[in-house]
Structure 1
Amino acid sequence: MRRSWARRWPVWLVTSIILIALSAGLAVFRFQPTGEASSGPPVPTPDEGTRQPTVSVAAVSGGTFRQGLIGRIETLNPLIMRSTAERAVSVLLFEGLVWVDGSGIPQPALADRWEASEDGLEYTVHLRDDALWHDGQPVTARDVLFTVRLIQAPDFPGDPTLADFWRSVQVAVIDARTVRFRLAEPYAPFPTYLALPIVPEHLLEGTLPTDLSRSSFSVHPIGSGPYRLERADLRTGTIELVRFDGYQRPQPIFERVTIRLFESAEEALTAFREGELDALEPVPWKAIQDGQLLGKHARIYAPSLAGFTALFLNGQAQFFTDVRVRQALSLAIDRERLIRDVLGGQAEPGNGPIPPASWAYQEQDYRYDPAAAVRLLRDAGWEDRDGDGIVDKEGLSFRFTLLVNVDDPQRVAVAQAVAQQLAEVGLSVTVQPIAAPSLERQLLDREFTAAVFGWMSTSGDPDMFELWHSTQAEGGANITSFRSRTVDILLEQARRSLDRSERRSLYVEFQRLFAEYVPAIVLYYPRYCFVVSDRIGGVDASPLVAPEDHFRQLPRWYRVER
């Protein structure tokens, strides 16, 4: 489940990250780009060795790949898709001008190159000469202009944050293969937003934005991706795709892809276990814990995602105005124990706001030291003066409520474990699970003391302006109300500079200051688990921006003969 808590576009905060059957009990291993998987639960750490079996195999070209998805699909129009299942199919049918790799760097797709003006206000994008729609028509700059204008329309029915962003961008067609974008102000992450799926003008021209969901295009779309739609029956949950011969980047190895939709996780697991499917996702948490539910041919892949789960602290609350208190809480939380005892080892400890796969990531020193936490609390005036086991200051006991969304049992368990660990240094924490909509409202209105929830990047770029800049502290996504003029300057410069090495230096310093000021405590990094039969080769676990991004590698997958 994704929810936008930002008033604008770059940041999505999620109360229930869409990982392993909407479970919060997930985190990231730093997999190597070569790709590794486990031969069934539990998912091992990289040090335990997760390479493909060393057996003689032969790749088979052609054939049918059978994908199972747990979830529903209501539309195949990529501009109004909302679910992970819908976006997964979109990756196979459509392309953007670019795609964004797991480190957050845009890569060529429909565009083969682009350049920015020196002032960072204009981006000129050049389309590939061989880009074709599935009906044989060329993809042109007018298709790009048409797509953006659909999104800019006041009555666009899709993602409002996406629409808000594109409404500030001017688009001009230079020639059939060249399009120019002009921004209101320099914004270095802009190329990552060119991953927007492009739709064909010649098929949708004249369609009102409000009619997109009712258009025949929503059920029988024409895209430009590696596979074209042959048949879709959304009522029965069956979609059949055929290799598009006009796509050569690379040409898919499987000739056909069939997609089966399941509303029941049990039914989906049975179909995979009995060999009716080659792959299934998302993998229910219970199947990660019990390998028999997946069968002997299952291989679980767990690529990292661009996000984190954290303990967010309201900087306006009287308990957390002193930085020494926030530092003490960070020292008092044993991430290793949290991951071992609550998450079953399926996590990597968090130590900063930028995910490890990002090109801007810089690891920070993390340590668990409850004795040091007690000393910091004492230095800040918090001691157990009445012997009740709870520290106090000027007659006020250190008691607060920790909010968490009730619809996610794993996240509730994480919050309870955090509360128990903080009790060890004299803090009384009451965990209060509440409905997700209520949690969203309280966080946006700053009516909370602390909360455990997650953040996911929508673009893959490390831009953290919306989440931590002072201007966002009153009504934006900076729900901790964190303010630092030094951090503000770093974030402002980092989103304006077109020099990636300069941007990285700025973000390295930002991460250092984040570790010092501790506006939030990053507990762990998420990952997304999907299962593939060991009869399928070419699969890897490279980092992803979003769960559906791993379908970009499907054209390289193949069936193996042993």
Structure 2
Amino acid sequence: MITSLIVVAGSGLFALVHFSTPGTEMEASAVTPTVAAPATGDQSPTVSAAVITGGTFRAGIVGRVETLNPLLAQTTAEATVDQLLFEGLVWVDGSGLPQPELAEQWQVSDDGYTYTVQLRRDVLWHDGQPFTARDVLFTVRLIQDPSFPGDASLAMFWRSVEVEVVDAYTVRFRLIEPYAPFLTHLTLPILPEHVLAGTLAADLSKNAFSTRPIGTGPFMVDTIDLEKGSIELVRSPHFDRPVPMFDRVVVQLYENSEEALAAFRHGEIDALDLVPWPAVRDPRLVGDRARVYAPLLAGYTALFLNNQAQLFADVRVRQAIAAAIDRVALVRDVLGGEGEPGNGPIPPTSWAFQEQEYRYDPGMARQLLHDAGWEDRNGDGILEQGGLNFRFTLLVNVDDPLRVAVAEAVARQLGEVGIAVSVQPVPAQTLQRQLLNREYTAALFGWMSSTGDPDSFELWHSSQADIGTNVTGFRNRTVDVLLEEARRSTDQAERRSLYVEFQRLFAEYVPAVVLYYPRYSFVVSDRIGGVDASPLIKPEDHIHQLPRWYRIQE
């Protein structure tokens, strides 16, 4: 489950923060089921046989679909199907850079307040009607409506943006303050005004559009039976960016992974999403024709330390904890390869990532703790200072057994340097409430980017330390300035230099210990070619490449 939180950024522009509690989390590479950790690169089958064009691709997804209106999607299954039906003005690649989709190009004003977007002139809706700037305005107005029934954080963000139609193929957006990540928010799926004109925002969920949608994507709905969990799509005759290799896509929904894996093993489906990591590594469950892909997602799981707590007020203590945790061992021994060892608050696939010199060094950890005044004076194996034992409770969400196992491993590693940790699994909602209320000492939880931009304002700026999502209470004026300037500047090189310095200071002050970056796993038959394992912003983004997939003639 990923929970969205609304936070006020800077002088008023609303931004989205996503905390990941339980999670299917997984990296950029493809593996065979017998490999312990994902290998690097695309391992689509190398064959001399011919490529088959046309035909049907059969996709399996574990989950439910109740609507195909992308503005109302709540599940990964819904978002995945919507990727094939709809488009945004841009799509964001795995490095976090916006790429043209319905937009052809854009210009940003020198002051950073205005974005002027030129649209493609050759786009048609599934019913053959032309796509225009009116559709963009219509979509944003639906979301801005006070009765909009979808994601409240999405609506709050767009209510702070003014939209203007300049001409049939030009849209202008005006912001209330400069906000460099804005382009990454233009992934918003666009709906057709000519189909939904007159529909009240409050009635969107009841409209027939939810099961018979019209989009501009590579495929369109042919037949749908949500009770049986079957959705059949056919190639859109109006889509050529590129022309999909398959004529049809049949999406079969499954209630659980066991049922879905059986269907994949028996060859009833060509691919399967939302597969548990232990299953994809077991050839008995996925079969001998499986190719496993585990791209890196734009997020991380971290040990968050309440910097206002007495135990963690001294930076040397936080540095010691970072040195005492063996992140490589956590990924190898606990996660079984389901992640990449953590190296800082910006994921390694981001254009802004800069590797830091984190290292596992228990000896250095003990020395730092000693320098901070912590010693084991009574020989019980637990450090103490002024009559206070170094003990704390580590919160973790109970509904993610893998994350609980990571917490327990972290507790054992910290125990080796004299820190006693009690792991306390709690419901996800309880954990989030305690974090936001600052009613915790330490917690292990995850964060997922909603856009792919490296903007880290909400999590680490001092203005968010008391009532925002900077739940560690970390305050550093230099970091504040870096984050403020980085979200205002529209120069990517300048932004990167600011984020490089931010990552260096994060490594020095250690407000939290980033443990690992998550992977998302999916399996594809080795009869399917063209699949790669490029990094993803969100799990459903992997299906964006499906038009380039094809069947291999054996």
- The normalised TM-score by structure 1 is 0.96
The aligned amino acid for 1:3 is: T
Q: Given residue 20 of structure 2, which amino acid in structure 1 is its aligned partner?
A: V
CA distance in 2, matches of 1:6, 1:151: 15
- State the Cα distance separating 1:45 from its structure 2 match: 4.0
Which string of whole-angstrom CA distances, capped at 9 and with x for unpartnered residues, describes residues 237-286 of structure 1?
00000001211110101000000000021111110000000000111233
Give the alignment partner of residue 312 of structure 1, picking from 304, 307, 322: 304
| Equivalent in 157, 164, 167 of residue 149 of structure 2 | 157
Residues 418-454 of structure 1 show CA distances to partners (whole Å, capped at 9, x for unaligned) of 0000000000100000011111110000000001110
2:30 partner amino acid:
A
**Distance in 2 between residues matched to 1:381 and 1:291, nearest whole Å:** 52
Correspondence for 2:456: 464
The DSSP-based 3-state class of the residue aligned with 1:9 is: strand
Write the distance in 1 (CA, Å) between the matches of 2:282 and 2:94.
29
Which residue of 222, 237, 254 corresponds with 2:229? 237
1:147–1:198 CA contact under 8 A, matched in 2: yes
Structure 2 counterpart of 1:393: 385
1:87 aligns with 2:93: no
Rate the CA distance shift 1:553–1:253 in 2: closer, same or farther, 3 A.
Answer: same
Q: Is the 8 A contact 1:42 1:291 kept in 2?
A: no
- 2:89 equivalent to 1:97: yes
Contact 1:141/1:179 (<8 A) preserved: yes
State the partner residue of 2:2: 2
Tell me, yes or no, if structure 1 residue 436 matches structure 2 residue 442. Answer: no
Describe the SS at the equivalent of 1:10: strand
Q: Contact conserved, 1:41 with 1:288, CA < 8 A, in 2?
A: no
Q: Do the aligned residues in 2 keep the contact of 1:44 with 1:50 (CA within 8 Å)?
A: no
Task: Find out whether 1:502 has 2:468 as its counterpart.
Answer: no
1:372 deviation in Å?
Answer: 0.5
Cα-to-partner distance string for 1:381-409 (whole Å, 9 max, x where unaligned): 11111111100000000010000000111
Counterpart for residue 40 of structure 1: 33
Distance 1:481 1:360, change over 3 A: same
Aligned partners of 1:44, 1:341: CA distance in 2, in Å?
Answer: 11
1:512 to 500, 504, 509: 504
Q: How far did residue 347 of structure 1 move?
A: 2.5
In 1, the alpha carbon distance for the partners of 2:194 and 2:120 equals 19
Q: Is the contact made by 1:332 and 1:370 (CA closer than 8 Å) also made in structure 2?
A: yes
Contact 1:362-1:508 within 8 A present in 2 as well: yes
* Separation of aligned partners in 1, 2:30 and 2:260: 21
Partner SS state of residue 3, structure 2: coil
Matches within 5 A, 1:446-457: 446-457=438-449
Q: Structure 2 matches for 1:285-300, cutoff 5 A? A: 285-300=277-292
**Contact 1:401 1:450 survives alignment (8 Å):** yes
Q: 3-state DSSP class of the match of 2:340?
A: coil
Tell me the distance in 1 between the aligned counterparts of 2:469 and 2:448: 12
Deviation for aligned residue 1:190: 0.5
- How do 1:103-122 and structure 2 match up within 5 A? 103-122=95-114
Counterpart residue identity of residue 356, structure 1 = P
Residue 148 of structure 1 corresponds to 140
1:75-474 aligned at under 5 Å gives the runs 75-474=67-466
User: 1:534 maps to which residue?
Assistant: 526
Instruction: Check whether the contact 1:42–1:288 (CA below 8 A) recurs between aligned residues.
Output: no
In structure 2, give the amino acid aligned to 1:286.
Answer: P
Shift of 1:40: 2.1
SS in 2 for 1:527: coil
Displacement of 1:6 in angstroms is 4.5
Inter-partner Cα distance in structure 2 for 1:195 and 1:473: 29
What aligned pairs does 1:486-497 form with structure 2 within 5 A after superposition? Answer: 486-497=478-489
Q: Show the counterpart of 1:12.
A: 18
Q: Secondary structure at the match of 1:194?
A: helix
Aligned to 1:22: none
Is the CA contact 1:103–1:543 (under 8 Å) kept in the aligned structure 2? yes
Give ranges in structure 1 of 5+ residues lacking alignment. Answer: 20-25
Amino acid across the alignment from 1:62: G
Instruction: State the distance in 2 between where 1:340 and 1:102 align.
Output: 24
Aligned amino acid, residue 504 of structure 2: R
Task: Give, in angstroms, the shift of residue 495 of structure 1.
Answer: 0.3
Q: 1:310·1:452 contact (CA, 8 Å) conserved in 2?
A: yes
CA 1:137–1:90: 2 relative to 1, 3 Å: same
Aligned Cα RMSD in Å?
1.2
Residue 531 of structure 2 aligns to which amino acid in structure 1?
V
Q: Cα distance, 1:55 vs. partner?
A: 3.1
Q: Which runs of 5+ in 2 are unaligned?
A: 8-13
Residue pair 1:115, 1:125 contacting (<8 A) in 2 also:
yes
Q: How does 1:16-35 map to 2 (within 5 A)?
A: 16-17=22-23, 19=24, 26-28=25-27, 31=28
Please state how far the C-alpha of 1:27 moved relative to its aligned partner.
4.2
Query: Structure 1: how far apart are the matches of 2:365 and 2:33?
Result: 39
* Greater Cα shift, 37-46 or 395-404: 37-46
* Contact 1:412 1:433 survives alignment (8 Å): yes
1:337, CA displacement in angstroms? 1.6
Letter in structure 2 aligned against 1:4: S
Give the partner amino acid of 1:71.
G
1:6–1:13 contact (8 Å) kept in structure 2:
no
Matched-pair contact (CA < 8 Å) for 2:107–2:117: yes
